[in-house]
Amino acid sequence: MRVSRLDHLVLTVVDLEATVDFYTRVLGMAVRAFDGGRLALRFGDQKINLHEAGHELALRARLATPGSADLCFVVEDPIDGWLEHLAEVGVPVVAGPVPQTGALGPMTSVYFRDPDGNLVEIASYAG
């Protein structure tokens, strides 16, 4: 018995609109409504379900708190291009580019924060 992949994760957020704007505009994710209006951010074969703080589902993390996540997304475009993109869309870089070790080995990462203060890492295995 073993896990094969991550299907989705859940972020508890203060402002759904600000979160959707950030992840679609900055990271190119697609927003999808499901189950009567709940929102998810789709990318590749995964998604991030969004719970609005104070309106979370009954089945949730014990301490569902905005700003407590640390997320890493693998990107295919060069990190230099991402640095330019982040500057263009007004997202300050917290750290990077820096070498890191990911699930598949060495990678280069850049860090920034989403509207709730979650740490967002984009990582490239190229070069």
- Report the CATH number at residue 68: 3.10.180.10
Instruction: Say if 2 falls within a structural domain.
Output: no
Distances (CA, A) of 6 to 33, 44, 67, 86, 100: 20, 11, 21, 26, 21
Active site residues: 121
Q: Which domain holds residue 93?
A: 8-124
- Cα–Cα nearest to 95, from 115, 76, 70: 70
pLDDT at 118 over 90: yes
Count of structural domains, the chain: 1
Instruction: Say if 36 falls within a structural domain.
Output: yes
Instruction: Say if 3 falls within a structural domain.
Output: no
pLDDT for 96-117, tens place per residue? 899 999 999 999 999 999 999 9
pTM: 0.92
pLDDT at 11 over 70: yes
Instruction: Say if 1 falls within a structural domain.
Output: no
